[in-house]
Structure 1
Amino acid sequence: MARRPASAVRDERPGPAEFTDPRLRHEVQRAAVWLGMALLIVGVVVLAQPLLLIIGGLVFSVILDGGARLLGRVLPIRRGFRLALVVLAGLAFVGWVFYYAGTTLAAQAEALRAVVTEQANRLMGMATEFGLVPEGTRANLTSQVLGGVGRLTTAVSSALGAVTSMLAIFVIGIFIAMEPRLYDRGVAWMLPVRHRDGFYAISDRVGFTLRRLMFGRLVGMVVEGLFTFAMLWVGGVPMAALLGLITGLLAFLPNIGAIISGVLMVAVGFSAGTSEGVWAIFVYFFVQNLDGYVIIPYIARKTVDLAPALVLAAQLLFGALFGILGLLLADPIVAAIKVALEQISGSGEAKRRAGEAAAKT
């Protein structure tokens, strides 16, 4: 290929892709930032499902990592073996729940659906008698409520999608829990060098907070499930084991889970009689007060204090935008964001004070 003469090089003029005006270059950079933010928002909306699966995997890895650390206090063995023990114990528990639910609670689950439907019809009848619901709209309202429950049941019972999502979260969580520092370094590598120490500090603090939060949540699930089962069984409320299991599982969802389990508990209690219904109401308030005044404040002191209204608003927003996964992950996401913002503001305040001290000296 022939070389161009030097005079031709000197005669080159800027093309339309070159911005020599500093003001124009600044405006182009600003436009690029706004365009990048818009594309990021669109990407988050379009890729919401896989992003939530990744976040779910991160939360699950935090649970596994916390279990391995806790086990390390009593078993001085390598981290890989401790992590394997935690995974096997978790799989054994899930297998037992499915086996127990499949063999013992299947008939109770069908009976629970019938009881809830019957109690809903009775409640609508009472509302109609007192004039709270017009006679003509009673059937409409009942069908809408039961239709909504039916749609929810259909969505939850979508076995293939649920199993695929859980498997993805499980695999991602195990890989991250095996080498958490590897992924920390990978994310930090994409940041400027001056910001990497701050990222590591935020990552450590968020991980510590989420480990405590998830451990407290699991303790709350166990306590609520066992107390509910024992007290309902003592009070002679039917389906005590199923209600205890449902209450324990729904305890992972603050606020909303308690409301759902309470409605089910009271409906089943009144289906057996007035005394059983009143006892179910007492059990519900006792368990929720135990959780609200003992377990949750203790967790908040050890982790991060989240306002109940903030958590509920985040659950409603994430649930509406992203479905059941958003509802499940709203609490840890809000906690992680709050801790990260506190860490960033704290480091900024520390730098400001250090600068003021240096200026005075």
Structure 2
Amino acid sequence: MSDDHIGAGEVPAAESQLSPADIHDAGLRREAQKAAIWIGMAALAALVVFFAQPLMVIFGGIVFAAMIDGGARLLGRVLPIGRGWRIILVLLFGVLFLVWAGYFTGNQIAAQAAEMPAIVQHQIERAVAWARGHGMDVDPGSLNGIIEQMSSGVGPVTRALGGLLGGLTTLFLIAVLGIYIAVEPKLYERGIAWMLPVEERPYLGETLGRMAFSLRRLLAGRLLGMAVEGVATGIALAAYGVPMAALLGLLTGLLAFLPNIGAPISGALMVLIGFSGGTDMGIYCIAVYIVVQTVDGNVIVPMVAKRTVDLAPALVLGAQLIFGVMFGILGLALADPLVAMCKILLERRSERNTAAAQGDEMQAASGAAS
């Protein structure tokens, strides 16, 4: 029979045959779909690992955008102007602060930074000599080996600090991304929502809103803590005549952005520099460190924690260790916000599952009553 004589409901024999790729058995087809999903998830995970560094830079831009947005919202409480003008003012204040810091304190801090390594090394040698003088068998060669092992353990961090040009490029990209996102956040939110089913978009909007709110609060508290610790430490050390007070205050403020890790590092530097001026000055530096950290830990952190995500310190520290090894300084700085966002996402998923379970129970109860 020719094709001209095929009826409307008939299909040519060649077209009616199943393709070699078709799976006729329903159970086997379901298993194949499951396998395809798992393979797709594995491929997606591989892509995430491969593009991990760019993804961290993008997340850094989101964090910077949250800072800009928080500052614009804060200005909105006192200045009845448009959001665009408030964002420009926030950026202008930031640039002016950097110019002021570089112009008035740049030379002084640069000179102090050049002197600090020699002072720290001299203090470590004094500590070793004191220990050996009190009967402690401290081998300088073993100490050097321990220091080398510690250095290898924080290799990514030291490499990140050494790669100044790469760090500046990363900061520039983060700043540009943050400005773009802060100017039109709804544009990117609509783009993400467009890729989801219509019924999922309200859930996404509420989740992103909660994330943005918590991120703004978290960063506001972090910046407040940095300012309080840096300024208070610098003033207290300068009042007693501690060498490099300005540099120590700046390092304390910057390292305060790294919870659990930054404070011990800045405190150790402060104490080493303090004992270079005598025992009394060293004890004074210890007292300053304790007072500043006590105020930050018992006043600022609890005040901010009430309005943000409550994160377990061990969880944050573990995330910092992992991200620090993987991404260096950038991973250390972004570990806390990233963990907070993941926690909010899991909480939202748990709330949704709980609401669905309660709805099923109510429906079952109403069906049984009828």
**Aligned partner (choices 22, 26, 32) of residue 22 of structure 1:** 26
**Aligned partner (choices 88, 91, 103) of residue 92 of structure 2:** 88
The one-letter code sitting in structure 2 at the alignment partner of 1:87 is: L
1:329 maps to: 334
1:169 maps to: 174
**Partner deviation per Cα, 1:295-326 (whole Å, 9 max, x = no partner):** 10111101111111111111111111222111
Q: TM-score, normalised by structure 1?
A: 0.92
Kept after mapping to 2: 8 A contact 1:63/1:211: yes
1:339 maps to: 344
Kept after mapping to 2: 8 A contact 1:231/1:283: yes
1:309 maps to: 314
Deviation at 1:71, TM superposition (A): 0.5
2:118 maps to: 114
1:159 maps to: 164
Structure 1 gaps of 5+ residues are: none
**Partner deviation per Cα, 1:138-162 (whole Å, 9 max, x = no partner):** 4444565678889855531422211
Question: In structure 2, how many angstroms separate the alpha carbons of the residues matched to 1:136 and 1:157?
Answer: 26
**Partner deviation per Cα, 1:233-268 (whole Å, 9 max, x = no partner):** 222211111111110111111110101100110000
Question: In structure 2, how many angstroms separate the alpha carbons of the residues matched to 1:334 and 1:204?
Answer: 17
Rate the CA distance shift 1:143–1:185 in 2: closer, same or farther, 3 A: closer
**Which structure: larger Rg?**
2
Q: Are positions 1:79 and 2:79 aligned together? A: no
**Partner deviation per Cα, 1:24-80 (whole Å, 9 max, x = no partner):** 221221111221222122112211110000000001001111111110111111100
Kept after mapping to 2: 8 A contact 1:121/1:142: no
Deviation at 1:135, TM superposition (A): 5.5
Q: Which moved more, 1:156-165 or 1:171-180?
A: 156-165
Rate the CA distance shift 1:209–1:356 in 2: closer, same or farther, 3 A: same
Q: Are positions 1:293 and 2:293 aligned together? A: no
Count of residues in Structure 1 that have an aligned counterpart in Structure 2: 360
Match of 2:78, SS state, is coil
**Aligned partner (choices 10, 15, 20) of residue 13 of structure 2:** 10
Aligned pairs for 1:236-255 (under 5 A) are 236-255=241-260
Q: Are positions 1:99 and 2:103 aligned together? A: yes
CA-atom RMSD in angstroms: 2.4
The one-letter code sitting in structure 2 at the alignment partner of 1:206 is: M
1:43 maps to: 47
Question: In structure 1, how many angstroms separate the alpha carbons of the residues matched to 2:321 and 2:211?
Answer: 23
**Aligned partner (choices 194, 209, 212) of residue 189 of structure 1:** 194
1:233 maps to: 238
Question: In structure 1, how many angstroms separate the alpha carbons of the residues matched to 2:354 and 2:235?
Answer: 51
Question: In structure 2, how many angstroms separate the alpha carbons of the residues matched to 1:23 and 1:133?
Answer: 70
Kept after mapping to 2: 8 A contact 1:128/1:138: no
The one-letter code sitting in structure 2 at the alignment partner of 1:9 is: P
Q: Which moved more, 1:235-244 or 1:62-71?
A: 235-244
**Aligned partner (choices 197, 206, 209) of residue 204 of structure 1:** 209
Question: In structure 2, how many angstroms separate the alpha carbons of the residues matched to 1:253 and 1:8?
Answer: 69
Question: In structure 2, how many angstroms separate the alpha carbons of the residues matched to 1:321 and 1:150?
Answer: 10
Q: Which moved more, 1:198-207 or 1:336-345?
A: 336-345
**Partner deviation per Cα, 1:92-118 (whole Å, 9 max, x = no partner):** 222333334432211111111111111
1:61 maps to: 65
The one-letter code sitting in structure 2 at the alignment partner of 1:262 is: G
Q: Are positions 1:123 and 2:127 aligned together? A: yes
**Quick one: percent identity of the two aligned structures?**
51
Aligned pairs for 1:260-275 (under 5 A) are 260-275=265-280
Rate the CA distance shift 1:204–1:132 in 2: closer, same or farther, 3 A: farther
Match of 1:241, SS state, is helix
Question: In structure 2, how many angstroms separate the alpha carbons of the residues matched to 1:4 and 1:36?
Answer: 45
Structure 2 gaps of 5+ residues are: none
The one-letter code sitting in structure 1 at the alignment partner of 2:325 is: A
Rate the CA distance shift 1:313–1:153 in 2: closer, same or farther, 3 A: closer
The runs of at least 4 consecutive aligned structure 1 residues that moved more than 6 Å come to 146-151
Rate the CA distance shift 1:53–1:152 in 2: closer, same or farther, 3 A: closer
The one-letter code sitting in structure 2 at the alignment partner of 1:201 is: E
Deviation at 1:124, TM superposition (A): 3.4
Kept after mapping to 2: 8 A contact 1:53/1:165: yes
Kept after mapping to 2: 8 A contact 1:116/1:264: yes
Q: Which moved more, 1:349-358 or 1:108-117?
A: 349-358
Question: In structure 2, how many angstroms separate the alpha carbons of the residues matched to 1:9 and 1:151?
Answer: 65
Question: In structure 2, how many angstroms separate the alpha carbons of the residues matched to 1:210 and 1:272?
Answer: 42
Match of 1:302, SS state, is coil
Rate the CA distance shift 1:110–1:184 in 2: closer, same or farther, 3 A: same
Rate the CA distance shift 1:275–1:148 in 2: closer, same or farther, 3 A: farther
Kept after mapping to 1: 8 A contact 2:160/2:329: no
Deviation at 1:352, TM superposition (A): 3.1
Q: Are positions 1:258 and 2:263 aligned together? A: yes
1:32 maps to: 36
